[in-house]
Amino acid sequence: MTRKNTEIQRKNQSYWGEVFFRLRKNKMAMLSLYVLVTIIALCIIVPIISPYEIQTTNLAGKDQRPNSQHLLGTDLIGRDLFTRLFYAGRISLGVALAVVFIECIIGVVLGSIAGFYGGIIDVVIMRIAEIFMSFPFMIICITIVAIFGNSIPTLILVLAVLSWPSIARIVRGQILTLREMEYMEACEALGISDVRRIFKHLLPNVLAYVIVYATLGMASVILVETSLSFLGLGVSPPTPTWGNMIQEARNMLIIQQKWWYWVPPGICIFISVMCFNILGDGMRDAIDPKMKR
């Protein structure tokens, strides 16, 4: 009886209700979601739970191992590494979120226009996308950041502008299919404007794919930002990120004998990227109609 009631409830669910029902069945995806929420929560509340500031130095207490006062020890100028770790998470995750948000806006708008209108507009937008995709991504990032400076806004803008073609191609492919549906012919017969057809009747049907792309894209941006920061071309110290925290520990003596400098940020990078990838895979499986039972 309970099983029958469950089936009835599922039949009455909305599309997104069905998606989240299937996502909840994926234990690894849900575990990844809980871990990400925990990391984000720690990054937000770190000023409350830590009595130290990120720039507070204490030369008398420098280079300490993890202890009761400093859970992850201190660095060479006495800054508390636990506090800096989660402030760094704010920057690393914040940069990733901003980049994904901007690139999705650019890609969704251009991909929608290309797929809806087709013809010369489609050709021009897709050729521009192919030009961007043909650039050696990391080399272009390093070059632009080296020329214009490695501030946070510059880093976000560079990564977003170079990353939009992928989501644009995904959206364009979906729009090309959806615009031939009968309900779009009805919209045209009713005289609904192009803008309303795109943003009210087409994009909601593409939103699921954008969410999956954004989830997986977060992991990619975290790795790129970490790589640039490690090379000294990401966010400039003393603002901490996970990448430049590892970069500060590049000395061989530190790597061999002072694990608390580089292991915690390395673990945070690994866990965050892995969880975003697993959650993205889970979202993709939940959204895919072929996975529906």
Tens of pLDDT, residues 196-232? 777 777 777 788 888 888 888 898 888 888 888 877 7
pLDDT, mean over the chain: 82
Residue 70, in any domain of the structure? no
Cα–Cα distance, 189 to 191 (Å, whole number) = 5
Cα–Cα distance, 24 to 11 (Å, whole number) = 17
Note down the domain range covering 229: 25-44+80-291
Residue 50, in any domain of the structure? no
Determine contact, residues 282/27, Cβ cutoff 8 Å.
no
Residue 19, in any domain of the structure? no
Cα–Cα distance, 98 to 273 (Å, whole number) = 16
Read off the pLDDT of residues 229-242 as tens digits, 9 standing for 90 and up. 877 777 877 788 88
Residue 127, in any domain of the structure? yes
Average pLDDT over residues 17-43: 87
Determine contact, residues 131/73, Cβ cutoff 8 Å.
no
Read off the pLDDT of residues 60-91 as tens digits, 9 standing for 90 and up. 778 788 888 888 888 888 888 888 888 888 88
Task: Give the CA-trace dihedral at 127, 132, 135, 140, to 10 degrees.
Answer: 160
The conformation of residue 181, written as its DSSP 8-state character, comes to S
Residue 58, in any domain of the structure? no
Read off the pLDDT of residues 136-164 as tens digits, 9 standing for 90 and up. 888 888 888 888 877 888 888 988 988 88
Residue 221, in any domain of the structure? yes
Residue 93, in any domain of the structure? yes
Based on the structure, what is the number of domains in the chain? 1
Give the pLDDT confidence score for residue 228 in this predicted structure: 85
Of all residues in the chain, the percent with pLDDT exceeding 90 is 13
Average pLDDT over residues 51-60: 79
Whether residue 8 has pLDDT greater than 70? no
Q: Name the residue with higher pLDDT: 2 or 198.
A: 198
Of all residues in the chain, the percent with pLDDT exceeding 70 is 89
- Among 48-52, 103-107, 183-187, the minimum mean pLDDT is found in 183-187
Q: How confident is the model at residue 293 (pLDDT cuts 50, 70, 90)?
A: very low
Give the pLDDT confidence score for residue 1 in this predicted structure: 46
- 228 closest CA partner among 163, 156, 166: 156
Whether residue 6 has pLDDT greater than 60? no
Classify burial at 64, counting beta carbons within 10 Å of its beta carbon; exposed 0-12, middle 13-18, buried 19 or more.
middle
Q: How confident is the model at residue 11 (pLDDT cuts 50, 70, 90)?
A: low
Give the DSSP letter string of 209-223: HHHHHHHHHHHHHHH
Residue 135, in any domain of the structure? yes
CATH of the domain at 137: 1.10.3720.10
Cis status of the peptide bond prior to 204, with omega within 30 of 0:
no
